[in-house]
Amino acid sequence: AHRPLIAPSILSADFARLGDEIRAVAGEGDTRADWVHVDVMDAHFVPNLTLGLPVVQSLIKATDVPIDCHLMIENPDKWAIGYAEAGAYNVTVHVEAAHDPVALAKNLRAAGAKAGLSIKPNTPIEDHLDTLKHYDTLLVMSVEPGFGGQSFIEGVLDKVRTARRLVDTGHLKLVVEIDGGINADTIEQAAEAGVDCFVAGSAVYGAEDPGKAVAALREQAAR
Ligand code: DX5
Ligand code: ZN
């Protein structure tokens, strides 16, 4: 297996000190995050409101850690491209929200970003396997999107296994990413199912030392 990727979610960070909170996971070596995960919520696709493009533009300028944008918004067909143009490393949209996900993925890539597709816990993967070849990342939600600090839904690991098989047999080229309830108690089973990239909000920013939490999670995932 490759080195596991850890993507702290700033949803659980102090929003008044976002620059400092990102710097806390942007040091050298094992404590450095691979990506910083930014949850964009519009109070329509999910029942919560976070931040949008102006803040993301500032964050991208404030760090050299790749920014992983998770758009929990309606009509991403219209809004996602702005995040790619702003220099986001990866832009993920929800399959439940996008009208033409394949066209959108092509536009995101043309704008220089990686394109991601996310699926909610109750959304089956089977109907979307044909379109996954247009994406660089698959974000499997392991909680209902909207809030940090929820419990991991183990049942989604079947979708991870399906995606892993398709990647390993050469039928797909995807980074398999998981989001929700990832912590010291759950990361090993997710790793075993075949996750490449682990989003962790409360497990990183609820820790005394976020950088150390990144290193500890990565080490656990690598076992
Ligand atoms: C939830 C967000 C997650 C959230 C995860 O809708 O997509 O990225 O920050 O938080 P934890 O790791 O605390 O479950
Ligand atoms: Zn997220």
CATH number at residue 205: 3.20.20.70
pLDDT of 1 over the 70 cut: no
Site to substitute for ligand 1 among 6, 10, 12, 117, most atoms within 8 A of C-beta: 12
- Judge contact between 193 and 12, C-beta under 8 A: no
What are the binding residues for a divalent metal cation? Answer: 37, 39, 70, 179
For residue 180 and ligand 1, the question of a CB distance below 6 A is answered with yes
* Cα 13 to middle of ligand 2, angstroms: 13
Q: How many domains does the chain have?
A: 1
User: Which pair of structure tokens corresponds to residue 195?
Assistant: 């996750």
Report the pLDDT value the prediction gives residue 223, as an integer from 0 to 100.
Answer: 84
Supply the residue whose CA is at minimum distance from atom 7 of ligand 1.
Answer: 145
Q: Binding site for substrate, residues?
A: 9, 70, 146-149, 179-181, 201-202
Average pLDDT, the chain: 98
Residues designated as active site: 39, 179
The answer, yes or no, to whether ipTM is higher than 0.95 is yes
Span from the CA of 76 to the centroid of ligand 2 (angstroms): 15
Best CA proximity match to 36, nearest among 44, 55, 48? 55
- Cα angle value 120/125/131 (rounded, 5°): 110
* Residues above pLDDT 70, as percent of the chain: 100
CA of 32 to the centre of ligand 2 (A): 19
pLDDT exceeds 90 at position 2: no
Q: Which ligand is nearest to the CA of 184?
A: 1
Q: What does the pLDDT average to over 13-18? A: 98
Burial of 139 (0-12, 13-18, 19+ CB in 10 A): buried
Identify the nearest ligand to the CA of 200 by its number.
Answer: 1
pLDDT digits (tens, 9 = 90+) for 86-128: 999 999 999 999 999 999 999 999 999 999 999 999 999 999 9
Domain membership of residue 181 as a residue range: 5-222
| pLDDT tens-digit series, residues 136-190 | 999 999 999 999 999 999 999 999 999 999 999 999 999 999 999 999 999 999 9
The Cβ of residue 64 has, within 10 Å, a number of other Cβ atoms equal to: 7
Annotated binding site, which residues?
9, 37, 39, 70, 146-149, 179-181, 201-202
The structure tokens listed for 151 are 């419990």
Rounded percentage of the chain residues whose pLDDT exceeds 90: 99
